Amino acid sequence: MLFRFRAAQAADLGILDLGRTRRPKAITTITSIPLCEKWRGQVLKEISRKVSKIQDPSLSDFQIRDLNDEINKLMREKHMWEVQIRGQGGPNYMRGGK
C-alpha cells in the first residue's frame, strides 16, 4: 500500500523513474528527443539479448521462430523510434539503411 502511495507521489512530483516504466505504445506521442533516445536504447538492448539467445543450439525450431518474430517486432519498433527522433530534429540513426 505504501509503495503505491510513493509511486503516485513520485509521479505527481515528476520524479518518476523511467527504468521502471513501460515503453509507450504510442510512439508519436513522445516529443522529447532524449526520452525517445532512451526508449530506442532500451529496444536495442532487448534486441541484443534476443539475438544472443537465438544462437543457442539447444533451442527447438518453434522457439527459434518465436524469438525471430519477437526480434522482427522489436526491429520495427526501433525503426519507429528512429523516425520519431528524426522528425523531432534529432540525429539520423537510419544512415546506411533505407
Is the full-model pTM beyond 0.85? no
Task: Tell me how long the chain is.
Answer: 98
50 contacts 67 by C-beta, under 8 angstroms: yes
- pLDDT-based confidence at residue 87 (cuts at 50, 70, 90): very high
Name the grid cell of 96: 546506411
Closest CA to 98 of 80, 90, 89: 80
d(CA 74, CA 88): 21
- pLDDT-based confidence at residue 62 (cuts at 50, 70, 90): very high
pLDDT tens, residue by residue, 4-52? 777 777 766 666 555 557 888 889 898 899 999 999 999 999 999 999 9
Percentage, residues of the chain above pLDDT 90: 61
